[in-house]
Amino acid sequence: MPKRSKVKPGSRTGLRRSLFTIPPTDTPKVSVIIPVVNERRTLGAVIRQAALAHPSTEVIVVANGSTDGSAELAERMGARVLRYAQPLGHDVGRSIGARAARGEVLLFTDGDIVIAAKDLAAMTNAVIAGADVALNQYLGPTGLMHVHGVVLAKHALNLMVGDAVNTGASLTTIPHAMSRRARDIIGCENLAVPPKAQTIAAFHGLQVRAAHYVEVGRRNRRRARGRVRGVDPLERLIIGDHLEALAWHVAQTDVRGRLTDGGRSRESVC
Amino acid sequence: MAARMAGKRGPAKRKARPGTRARLRTGVRKGPAAKRKPLRRKGVVRRRARAPVSQQHAAYWAGRAYTAGCAAATAAANHRSVEAPGESEHARVNEAWATWCQAAGKPPWTLYSAAAARFMEGWRSMAGGYDQRWVLVPTTKTIGVVITVMNEQETVGAIIAELQRLPLHEMIFVVNGSTDASFERIRNQSSSIIVHYDEPLGHDVGRAVGAKLADSDILLFLDGDLPVKAEQLVPFVAAISEGSDVALNDISPLLGLFAVRDKVTVVKEFVNRAMGRADLAANSLTAVPHALSREALLRIGAPQLSVPPKAQVIAIEQGLKLVCPASVDVISGNRIRSQNTGGNNAVAQMIVGDHIEALQAAMQRRGARLGFPDQLRQRGYIMS
C-alpha cells in the first residue's frame, strides 16, 4: 500500500477558503524555527501546528535551496522567511533561525514532519516552567542487537560527557526547545552541530531535560538521495557531529573528560 | 541402439517404431510405469537438513588423531637422544600435535578437544608419560600468560590449575595491593614469575607491567578473579598463531538488546564504530581473556596496555589484524564487588574515561571528526 500523506491532498489548504494565517505579534513569547528545503507538501500543516503551540508565537522559516514555492507559502501564512538560494546543509538553518529569533523560548522543528500543537506546546511549556533545554524523549529503535549509528552515538555521547539523566535524548532529534538564555550561552553558531550544542549546554550546567515523548522515527522521510549501498550519508555526518562534540568536551576538560583514572600509577611502567 | 542392433541382426523386417531412438537417446521413459517426479511448489526452497556433527565425523577425527599420536610418539622415541633434556613431555607431545595439525589440518573446534585427547592416548600407548588433563594447542610458538591479581586468594589456585594444563612458556602473575594470601598461594602452587607491588597499581596497569616482562610469541591476558577453562583459551592462541595480532573475547552472544545494556558496553561499541570497525561490535581489550602477538605488543607499546581501549584504538590505527575468535562468558561469573555494582559505579566511570582517552588519542592524529567529515554544511554563513 502506498504511503499516505498525513495531509490529505486538497482537504486542508485546498478546500479551506482562506489560508491559515499566524496571528501577528510584535513581542512574541515563542519563536518557532523551521528549516525548509522543498517541503511545500507538509509545510502548511507544520506552520499551522507551530502557530497554535502558544498564543504569542512567531514562526521563522529558513528556506534554503527551496525551489518549490515553500518560501512563498510560508510568507502568505504570515511567517518570517529567511531565504537562501543554495542549500545550507544539515541543521545550519537552525543556527540562522535562532539568531533571528525574538521570543523568550526557541522551539525547533522540521518542515517535513507535522507535529501536533499539543506536543510542541509540551516542549515550550517545559522551558517556560524552568528547564533551559527541553528534549524529545524519543530515542530511536533501541530494542535491537545492532542499533543505528546515530542511536549509538547519542547514547554514548551522553554517557561520555556525564549527562546520565538523558540516556539517549539528543538535540539531534526534533522537536526541542530552549530558552533564549540557553541560546546565548551555547552560541547560535554551535546550534548547527546539535550534539556539540548539547554538550556545551551540559558543560555550562544548563538544565537539559528530556521533557516529552514524540514519536518521530516512522514519520521521518527516508531519503534516497546520496545513499551508497544502503549507507546513509546522514548517519556518517551525525556520528561525526558526536565526535566533534566529544572533541570540544575534551578540549574544555582533559583527555579523560574529567573522569576518574581509578588511581592508576602509570609511572610504574613506561 | 536397440533399433540399430535389431537392424543388423538380419533380414527381419521389423521396423523401429518412430521416435524410439530419440526416446532412448534422451533417456525419457514413456508410459504409466515411468515414475513422475513429485511436483515442486514454486518458492519453496528446499534446504538440506544441516548435519549435526555426526558421530562418524567425530570418530573420523579421533581415529586419525590416535594413529597420528602413535606415529608421532614412535618417531619421537627414535630421536629422544638428541632432544633437549629440559623439555617437558607436555611440550613434546604438543609439538608433535602442532606439527600434525599443520600438516593434516586442524580439527573443527567442536571436535578439537576430543581429537587432541585421542592424539595423547595414541602417544601414551607408544611413549607413556601422559597426563589426562593436558590440553594441546595447535602451535609451536611460545605462549605466555599475564595474570593481574589483587586480593584473589580464593581463585588463584583454580587459575593456576587450569593454566598448568597448557604447554606454557611463561606464566607471569602481577600481584599488586594484595593484603591476603594471594602471593603465597601462587608461590606454593607454581613456579611462575611473580611481580609483587605492595600498593595497588590501578586498573589494568598490571597487564602492562606483565607484558613488558614477557618474551613469548603469543601473550594471553587474564584476570585473577576469573578462572577460565584451558580449552577455552586455545582458540585465542590459535588465532594469533595463524597470523592475527589481537584476539578479543567475543562478548556479543552474551549481550541483550541495546536498550538493556550497561553504559560500558554502549561506549565500547561506539568507539569501535567510530574507528570504522563496526564488525567488532562491543568487543574490547578491556574484557579478558584476550591475546596479543609479539608484533602487536611492540607496535602498540606495553605502557599503553594500562588503558585497554586506547591500546585497541592504536592497534586499529596501526593496521593490526583484530579478530574475535571465541566467546568466553565473563559476565555472569564476574565477582561482584562494592565498586563494580550499580549503574553509576566508580569502575564504570573509569572505563568510560578510558574510552574518551582512546578517542582523544585517535582525534589527535586524524582530527576531531575522525573518518566522518562534514561536507554538507555551509559553515561560512554562521560564523559570528
Query: Chain-centre distance of CA A233, in angstroms?
Result: 18
Going by pLDDT thresholds of 50, 70 and 90, the confidence category of residue B6 is very low
Q: Which of B257, B347, B356 sits opposite A160 (nearest CB)?
A: B356
Using CA atoms, how far apart are residues A114 and A31, in angstroms rounded to an integer? 17
Domain assignment of residue A70, yes or no: yes
**What does the block give as the cell for B173?**
602473575
Q: How far is CA B257 from the centre of its chain?
A: 24
Q: How far apart are CA B136 and CA B149, in angstroms?
A: 26
Instruction: Give the C-alpha separation, B141 to B243, whole Å.
Output: 12
| DSSP class of B79 | T
In a domain, A238, yes or no: yes
Residue B170 to residue B190: CA distance in whole angstroms: 11
Which amino acid makes up residue A258?
Answer: R
**Separation between Cα atoms, residue A67 and residue A71, nearest integer Å:** 8
- Got the DSSP string for B272-292? HHHTT-GGGTT--TTSSSEEE
A261-270 confidence digits (pLDDT tens): 888 888 888 7
CATH number (domain holding residue A55)? 3.90.550.10
Q: How far apart are CA A199 and CA B75, in angstroms?
A: 69
Does residue B171 contact residue B193 with C-beta atoms inside 8 Å?
A: yes
Q: Strands of chain B (E only): list them.
A: 143-149, 170-176, 193-197, 218-223, 246-249, 290-293, 322-326
What is the per-residue pLDDT for B86? Answer: 58
| A217 falls within a domain | yes
Residue in B270, B343, B372 closest to A152 by CB:
B270
Give the mean pLDDT of A116-141.
94
- Tell me whether residue A13 is in a domain: no
Considering only CB atoms, which chain B residues are within 8 Å of A86? 378
B378 and A86: CB-CB below 8 Å? yes
Average pLDDT on B198-224 reads: 94
Q: B257, A265: Cβ pair inside 8 Å?
A: no
Looking at residue B203, its amino acid is H
Q: What is the model's pTM?
A: 0.84
Spans of all domains in chain B: 58-127, 143-256+276-329
Task: Judge contact between A57 and A22, C-beta under 8 A.
Answer: yes
Mean pLDDT score of chain B: 84
Query: In this predicted model, which residue has the larger pLDDT, B342 or B90?
Result: B90
Name the residue among A88, A99, A255 with its Cβ closest to that of B357: A255
| Mean pLDDT for all residues in chain A | 88
Q: Which domain holds residue A204?
A: 30-255
Which strands form B218-223's sheet, in the order they lie side by side?
Answer: B193-197, B170-176, B143-149, B218-223, B290-293, B246-249, B322-326
Residue A270: the pLDDT is: 76
List Cβ neighbours of A208 (8 Å cut-off, separation of 6 or more): A131, A132, A133, A135, A163, A165, A166, A198, A201, A202
Q: Å from B174 to nearest chain A CA? A: 12
CB A125 within 8 A of CB A176: no
B20 vs B246: which has the higher pLDDT? B246
A99, A151, A246 member nearest B359 (Cβ): A246
> Which of A94, A188, A268 best probes binding to B when mutated, by most B CB atoms within 10 angstroms?
A268
pLDDT confidence of A7, banded at 50, 70, 90?
A: low
What is the DSSP secondary-structure string of B203-233?
Answer: TTHHHHHHHHH---SEEEEEETT----HHHH
Domain-located, residue A8:
no
Is the CB of A257 less than 8 angstroms away from the CB of B306? Answer: no
CB contact under 8 A, A260 and B349: yes
Instruction: Report the pLDDT value the prediction gives residue B32, as an integer from 0 to 100.
Output: 53
Cβ neighbours for B361, distance < 8 A, ≥ 6 positions apart: A255, B310, B313, B314
Q: Is the pLDDT confidence value at B108 over 70?
A: yes
**A37: Cβ contacts below 8 Å, ≥ 6 apart:** A63, A64, A65, A66, A70, A87, A111
pLDDT of res. B345 = 83
What percent of chain A lies above the pLDDT cut of 70? 88
Domains contained in chain A, number: 1
Mutate to test the interface with B, among A255, A258, A270 (most CBs of B within 10 A): A255
The gap from C-alpha B340 to its chain's centroid, in whole angstroms, comes to 27
For A11, residues 6+ apart whose C-beta sits below 8 A from its C-beta are none
Record: contact A261-B383, CB cut-off 8 A: no
Q: Which of residues 326-345 of B touch A (CB under 8 A)?
A: 343-344
Residue B304 is placed in which grid cell?
A: 599503553
Work out whether the CA dihedral B226, B162, B291, B87 comes out positive or negative.
Answer: positive
CA distances from A257 to A8, A30, A155, B352, B361 (A): 50, 35, 16, 9, 13
Min Cα distance A148 → chain B (Å) is 10
Residue B239 pLDDT exceeds 90: yes
Residue B22 has pLDDT above 70, yes or no: no
Residues A33/A64, Cβ–Cβ less than 8 Å = no
Burial (CB < 10 A; 0-12, 13-18, 19+), residue A225, is exposed
Determine contact, residues A25/A56, Cβ cutoff 8 Å: yes
Q: Which option is the CATH number for B143-256+276-329: 3.30.1360.10, 1.25.40.10, 3.10.20.30, 3.90.550.10?
A: 3.90.550.10
Residue A263: how many CB atoms within 10 A of its CB?
14
Q: Grid coordinates representing B280?
A: 567488532
The residue type found at B145 is V
- Which grid cell sits at B153? 586468594
Using CB atoms, which residue from A239, A260, A270 is nearest to B353? A260
Residue at A225 is within a domain: yes
CA distances from B48 to B45, B51, B236 (A): 10, 8, 32
